[in-house]
Amino acid sequence: MITNSIKKTVSVLLTGAVLFSLAGCMNLGGGSKKAVIEAAETFAADMAAADASKLIKNSTLSKKSDEASALTELLSDSGHTDDEIAFYKAVEKTIDYEIDEDSVSVDKDSASVNIIFSIADYSDVLLEDFKNADELTSAIKKADSATFKFTAEFSKEDKEWIPDNVGSKKFMKFYEYRKADISFALTAEMIAGFIDKDESSFWIYGDENKYTDTTFIEYDYYFDSAILGYEDRGEQIYFVLKKDGAQIYCSSDMRLGENAKVECRVEGGDIGLEAFGEFESGTYTIELYYKGENGDELVDSNSIDVEKTVVPILTTGTDPSGDTLSGEGDYYAFTDFVFRSFIIDAEWYDYDDCMIDDMTYTTDVQTIAFSMQVKPAYDKAVDYQFYYSENADTAALEEALTNPIYSATISPKQYSNGYFYDIEYDVGGSAKPGLYVFAVFEAGTENILMYGFCAVS
C-alpha cells in the first residue's frame, strides 16, 4: 500500500516526459501503473478537498452535463447556513486516503485503481443532541473513522490518465454528508439568539414610547431567517400579557419557525373589554415562552407603559335621549359619548349613483363617502382612516385593520343645509369587491370616536 504520507515518491521516480515515452515504447506495464497511481493521488486529493470546479476540470466530465451541475450544486456552500457550512468543513478536515497499489489495472487506454478513504463517522455523531455548531464540529473531530472504498476509473488522453467516473452514483455517495440534516437541541437561549433586537419592538402610532388611550397592545418579534429551518420540528412557542406583574392573557401555541415575524397582539376584547375599549393605565409586559422538553422556558420579555385619558366609551349605541340614528348599530357605531352627542345624522352618501342599498356600492363607484351632520357648535378637526378587506371573516378583518389604505384630517364643512364631516375615499371607478372599513379619531391622538363599514359588490 502507498499511503498519503509518501505522496511525492511516485512523482520523483517518474521524472520527465522522456521516461514516460520510453516506458510506452517498451510496452511495459510498470510505468503505466505508476502513472495511474500518480493520477490517482491527484484525483484523491481533489476529492478530499471537495472542489467541484477542479474535479470537473481535471476529468472527462462535460461542464454542461447534468452530472456536473449536480456536483457543483452539492459541493457549493451557497444557500446553506453558517452552521451547515461549519459541519461540512469539519467533516472534510477528517478526510484522508490511501492508494491501493495492488488494485491498479491497465488495459490500453483505460485503467482503474481503488482509493481507500477514511472519513469521520458523522452519521453516528448526528444522532446526538448539540446546542450549537461549535459542539457539533468538536464532536466531529473526535469521532471514529469510517471507510469509503472508491474505484477510480481513468481514460488515457494525450498520454495522460484522466479521471473518467466523476459524477457517478458511487462517486456522489462519497459526499452524502452534504445532504445531512443539521439541527440542534433547542433552548430558550438559542431562540432568543435568533431575535433581531434592532427590528423587534412595540407597534405604536408615531414615535411615542408609551401607549395612550389604546385599544390594543402589540409587540412584533423579528427573527433571523435561519429560524425558518426549525418549522418541521414541530416546536411550540406562545406569549402572555401581564399588567403590573399579573398575567391577564395567554396566547394559543404557535409553531416555531413558521414565520420570521411573530406578532404578539392583544385586543381589548381578548381581556374582556368592550369593543374598541381602551386598556387601563399601568405597566404591561409581553413575555415570549418556549415549550421545551423540561417545561416552559422564558425566551424574552418587554414592558411598556399605558396611559388612559379618554372618557369611557358608549356601550349602547344611543345618545342620552335614547334616540338611535338611522343605520346606527347596523353599519356604523360610536365609541365616544361626547362626540356622539354632537351628531345630528349620519349615512353613506352616493355621489355617483352607484349604491345598491344603504351600505353597498357597485365596483364602478368613484368616491366612497360617509357623511355626518354635526351641530353648528362643533368645529373640531378629526382624523380618519380607511381599511380594505376582501373577506368578512375575523382573521381577514384583523389583518386589514393593521394596514390603513387611506388617511386624512378634516373639519366640519358648511353647506346650505348645515355642517357636515365628509369622510371620503376616492377609488376612481375601480373599487375592489369586499368590505371598506373606516375609523374616526380625535385629531392627533389614537382616541377612536366612531367606526363604520360599507360593502362593494
What are the pLDDT digits (tens) for 267-277?
988 998 865 57
Task: Judge whether residue 322 has pLDDT over 60.
Answer: no
Q: Quick one: average pLDDT of 165-173? A: 96
- Residue 181: which pLDDT band, with cuts at 50, 70 and 90? confident
Q: What is the CATH number of domain 2-179?
A: 3.10.450.50
Instruction: Please list the residues that pair with 426 across neighbouring strands.
Output: 367
> For residue 315, is pLDDT > 60?
no
Its CATH architecture, for the domain 332-456, is Sandwich (2.60)
pLDDT at 13 over 60: no
Cell of 235: 416546536
Proportion of the chain above pLDDT 90, given as a percent: 64
**What pLDDT score was predicted for residue 27?**
35
In which residue ranges of the chain is CATH 3.10.450.50 found? 2-179
pLDDT at 198 over 80: yes
How high does pLDDT run on average in the chain? 86
Cα–Cα dist 201/198, whole Å: 8
Q: Is it the case that residue 2 has pLDDT exceeding 60?
A: no
What was the pLDDT predicted at 204?
Answer: 86
pLDDT at 311: 39
C-beta separation of 217 from 266 below 8 A: yes
CATH 2.60.40.1930 region(s) of the chain? 188-307, 332-456
Q: What is the pLDDT of residues 326-343, one digit of tens each?
A: 888 889 999 888 899 899
pLDDT recorded at residue 16: 38
Residues present in the chain in total: 457
pLDDT greater at residue 391 or residue 377: 391
Task: Give the model's pLDDT for residue 22.
Answer: 34
Cα separation, 12 vs 41, in Å, equals 13
Spatial separation of the C-alpha atoms in residues 63 and 157, rounded to whole Å: 17
Which pLDDT band holds residue 31 (cuts at 50, 70, 90)?
A: low
pLDDT of 141: 95
**Is 316's pLDDT higher than 50?**
no
Taking only the tens place, the pLDDT of each residue in 206-224 is 667 899 888 899 999 999 9
Predicted local confidence at residue 378, as pLDDT: 85
**Rounded mean pLDDT of 386-413?**
89
Residue-wise pLDDT for 85-125, tens only, equals: 999 999 999 999 999 999 999 998 999 999 999 999 999 89
Class of 188-307 in CATH: mainly beta
Work out the percent of the chain whose per-residue pLDDT is above 70: 89
Mean pLDDT of 355-383: 93
Distances (CA, A) of 438 to 108, 399, 431: 85, 14, 15
What is the tens place of the pLDDT at every residue in 135-156?
Answer: 899 999 999 999 999 999 999 9
Q: For residue 245, what is the DSSP state? A: T
**Res. 252: pLDDT tops 90:** yes
**Cβ contact 436:454 at 8 Å:** yes
Burial class (CB in 10 A: 0-12, 13-18, 19+), 394: exposed
Determine the average pLDDT of the residues in 387-401.
Answer: 84
> What is the pLDDT, as a whole number, of residue 207?
60
